[in-house]
Amino acid sequence: MYDTSSDCAAGCRSRRVRQPLWMLRISATATVIVAASAGAQMPSAPILQNVWGTTGVAGAVNVGGGSDASVYAGAVSFTASRLQFSGGIGYQTRTGMSSRAVYGVRAAMPFGGATSAFGFGAFAGIGGGPTSSTAADSAANTTDIPLGVAAGRRKRLGGTHGVSVYADPAYVLYSGGSRSGSLFRVGLGADFGVTSSLGVTVGAELGGTRARGAGGPSGVLYGAGVSYAFGRR
């Protein structure tokens, strides 16, 4: 009689070896976009926070905006162990108001495992810009402080690419402007691993709104970015 026990054992071992290697490949290709949303709490940019991070330094260029304003920015992030720090500076243009420089910084704690297909995390940040000298502009200039969590899933696409999708509901505090306040907003994003170092992010943020003159979002915000993770991978 043909004995299949050794073949089965070998096959099982092979599958057990391939599975973590497959997940590590996803980790290398689907999570390089850690800086593309680094300045996401900048005024006029959506809040996008992935639940995985690539160890080391990454940089990105981004564009975002909504119905009455746009922001163009550069960002950088540093991830070590389970803590990620990121930030960016940009230039905001607004309909009927003066353009200005804006900034955003964030700390995040990704809890997604190195080989996991599902993950979650938490984050907090602050963003804003200098207050204009004109009364109309000053009334609409706010400091944004998001406090949120995130959940996501990632998947391999072919042999060398990957994608991760995520949602990041946040409670956002707005300080300054004509009045302070808070809103519940949700970011929805997708990160595409083009190579092990190059990634693309697209996403949107929606939820509660504030009057345009009060500062803060008055509708849906959209964003996109291209990022690069430095160092050999």
pLDDT digits over 184-211, tens only? 999 999 988 888 788 889 999 999 998 8
Average pLDDT, the chain: 78
pLDDT value at residue 51: 85
Q: What is the mean pLDDT of residues 119-143?
A: 79
Question: What's the rounded mean pLDDT across residues 227-231?
Answer: 84
Residue 151 pLDDT > 70 = yes
5-229 to CATH, choices 1.10.3470, 3.90.550, 2.40.128, 3.90.1200: 2.40.128
Q: Are 140 and 177 in contact (CB under 8 A)?
A: yes
Whether the Cβ atoms of residue 145 and residue 173 lie closer than 8 Å to each other: yes
Give the pLDDT score at 81.
74
Question: Is pLDDT of 86 > 50?
Answer: yes
The pLDDT value given to residue 187: 94
Q: How confident is the model at residue 135 (pLDDT cuts 50, 70, 90)?
A: low
Q: Could you please report the per-residue DSSP string of the chain?
A: ----HHHHHHHHHHHHHHHHHHHHHHHHHHS--SSTTTTTTSTTS-----S---SEEEEEEEEEE-SSEEEEEEEEEEEETTEEEEEEEEEEEETTS--EEEEEEEEEEE---TT-SEEEEEEEEEEE-PPPSSHHHHHH-EEEEEEEEEEEEEEEETTTEEEEEEEEEEEEEEEETTS-EEEEEEEEEEEEESSSSEEEEEEEEEE----GGG-S-SS-EEEEEEEEE-S--
Gap between the Cα atoms of 49 and 72, Å rounded = 18
Among 17, 42, 233, smallest CA distance to 145 is for 42
- φ and ψ of 96, to 5 deg: 75, 5
pLDDT tens per residue across span 10-66: 444 444 444 555 444 444 444 443 333 444 578 889 999 988 777 788 888 999 998
Percent pLDDT > 90 in the chain is 29
